[in-house]
Amino acid sequence: MIRSYKRFAAIAAAVLCSGSAFAQSNADRIIDYELANSRAYETLSHLTDNIGPRLSGSKNAGLAVTWTTKTLRDWGLNAQNQAVMVPHWVRGVEHGSLVSHNDQKIVLTALGGSIATPANGITADVIEVASYDELAKLGRAKIAGKIVFYNRAMDMQMVESGQAFAAYSEAVEFRSTGASHAAEYGAVASVIRSVASASLRTPHTGAMRYDEKQPKIPAAAMTTEDADLVHRLLAKGERVRLHLVLTPKTLPDVESANVIAEIRGSEHPDEVVLIGGHLDSWDLGTGAIDDGAGAVMVMETLRVLKELGIQPKRTIRGVLFMNEENGLRGGHKYFDTAAAREEVHKHIAAIETDAGAAPPVGFITTLEGAALSRMQIRARVLSRIAPIVFTSSKHTGADTSPLTDAGVPGFGLVPDPRHYFDFHHTPADTLDKIDPKALAQNTAALAALAYLIAEDGL
């Protein structure tokens, strides 16, 4: 009796630590199926090539909601739309030239949310800074009436050592808040060096926001090549004058939607493992890496589970979030709805995929210590796809951040990040940057992890 109890306890402990054999074998099936029969690339090809750029509020973003909803339904899934009001910012004309240097063209793009310049543009001297401290030291006397040029490059050592997202977080602050900081000292516009790990003279857009206490001034990003040009001219001690024309508009908010579909759990259907990516993209490219890839990984996970007839004990809910790029309204709408229904803590995990589709290297997760080690062991079946490593991180995704901030365990899929910011938010974010095999590997990793957690719990 004692012996058999000990044996039972040992088996129970092994299952708790390493997951059930049943779950492991189903995860194996999911991986095998996805690696051999993936339709993720085909789905992504429609989203990017047939529908195109999907900026929030645009006609294409609406088409993407309709098409993904219909496609999921065609696959036998009960897809629903969760309505959400989103910003509607429209890029206009964008033009920059150095009037001080023979009207050489400066390749630049408006930052999302920027106001327009006057119709005939702004012409002003350019003053370069690399930090807010430098800006403050120059003060109003030097800054007033000028175009502030924030020139801080991404830390390429960090990028090359796999810390590209940390390098991005560091460099992106001037894009987010640089215009208002410059306006505080009387600047007439601000232009940043694109937040980029590589460039073929492609400007990188992205969201900016105004501090309501400061005057609003136009904000743009120039390519790293153009930033280097302006820097070299200023370093020669020359006066650099830029003519800048931007004509974006902020139109009234538009109703859009998150697209939600799920595989209901067989034993605990009210307990949810959320998998999410975002359906909207910037307008310059077709949003293949950001985040068409993530959106189709979520769709494909549901398709594969349905196709294989695998129903885990807990619900796997796929969410295609709207408006991650310039507002996060979809992420907040999802959370607020869950909170109103007191369902936030029914989410046992939130897994986000918004980092492209280079070959997978692992997951970041809010799990730490023993829970992190246990996860690494439980997910050992994923090592068949690639050497998947789980690493602790406070932030595991933007759309799921309201959930993880409320204490829901978070996961973020990490494809090799070293070239992600070469293309991120540029006209070059297009389908040709996606390797179908790596996309399937990422999908297999996402699907297997979601299934293991939904079957055996966390």
> Cα–chain-centroid distance for residue 229?
30
> Shortest distance, CB of residue 419 to Zn ion, whole angstroms?
15
Q: Are strands 314-321 and 249-263 parallel, antiparallel or unpaired?
A: antiparallel
Sole binder of Zn ion in the list 283, 300, 354, 416 (CB under 5 A): 354
Residue ranges in 288-317 that form contacts with Zn ion under rule CB under 5 A: 290-291
> Shortest distance, CB of residue 226 to Zn ion, whole angstroms?
25
Beta carbon nearer to Zn ion, 128 or 291: 291
> Shortest distance, CB of residue 280 to Zn ion, whole angstroms?
9
- Mark the segment that binds Zn ion (CB under 5 A) among 115-123, 210-218, 307-315, 347-355: 347-355
> Shortest distance, CB of residue 278 to Zn ion, whole angstroms?
6
> Shortest distance, CB of residue 218 to Zn ion, whole angstroms?
24
Beta carbon nearer to Zn ion, 423 or 451: 423
In degrees, rounded to 5, the angle at the alpha carbon of residue 55 between the alpha carbons of residues 320 and 216 is 125
Q: How many residues bind Zn ion (CB under 5 A)?
A: 3
- Mark the segment that binds Zn ion (CB under 5 A) among 64-72, 343-351, 354-362, 381-389: 354-362
- Mark the segment that binds Zn ion (CB under 5 A) among 79-87, 103-111, 160-168, 348-356: 348-356
Site map for Zn ion, 255-294, x if CB under 5 A?
Answer: -----------------------------------xx---
**Which entry of 128, 324, 325, 352 is annotated as an active-site residue?**
324
Is 429 near Zn ion (CB under 5 A)?
A: no
> Cα–chain-centroid distance for residue 168?
12
> Shortest distance, CB of residue 155 to Zn ion, whole angstroms?
21
Q: Is 343 a catalytic residue?
A: no
> Shortest distance, CB of residue 348 to Zn ion, whole angstroms?
24
- Mark the segment that binds Zn ion (CB under 5 A) among 55-63, 233-241, 349-357, 430-438: 349-357
Residues 335/268, Cβ–Cβ less than 8 Å: no
Beta carbon nearer to Zn ion, 328 or 344: 328
Beta carbon nearer to Zn ion, 262 or 290: 290
| Contact residues: Zn ion, CB under 5 A | 290-291, 354
**Residues forming the active site:** 324
